[in-house]
Each structure stands twice: as C-alpha cells, then as structure tokens.
Amino acid sequence: MQFLTHVRHLLAGRASERGASAVEYGLLVAGIAGMIVAIVFLFGGFMNELMGDSCGTITTWVTKNAEC
C-alpha cells in the first residue's frame, strides 16, 4: 500500500509532464505485450501438443463407444 501512495505522490508532482506519462504507459504496454508474446512462444508448443492429445483421446473414446 505504501508503494501505491508513493507512486501517486510521484505522479501528482508530474501533472505537467503528460507526454512523459504517455511514453511511460506506452513502455508498460509494450513490456506487457512482449511478456505475453514470450509466454505464448515458450508454452505454445506445449499447449498445442496438449490440445492435440485431448482431441485424440476424445476421438478414440467416441469411436470406441459409438452406438447406432
């Protein structure tokens, strides 16, 4: 909670620097987007394999237990 109070005081003193704040927010958004891309890149193959295995299991179960 003290951290948020400290950040609020820092931002209140910089009210005249709106352009700098916009740049900082842009950097935060870019950093978060970069982290999302990295996570998708690192875990994408694993998730693809997991989903493929799930689909294969469901298909096998449906095929074996199908009744007409």
Residue at 67 is within a domain: yes
Provide the number of structural domains found in the chain: 1
| Confidence band, pLDDT 50/70/90 cuts, at residue 48 | confident
Asked, for residue 1, whether it belongs to a domain, the answer is: no
pLDDT tens digits along 23-47: 889 999 999 999 999 998 988 888 8
* Segment 12-22, tens digit of pLDDT: 765 556 667 88
More confident residue, 16 or 50: 50
Residue 50: pLDDT over 70: yes
Structure token pair of residue 40? 């998708």
Q: SS3 helix, strand, coil % of the chain, rounded to 5? A: 85, 0, 15
11 assigned to some structural domain: no
- As a whole number, the mean pLDDT across the chain is 80
* Domain span at 33: 19-68
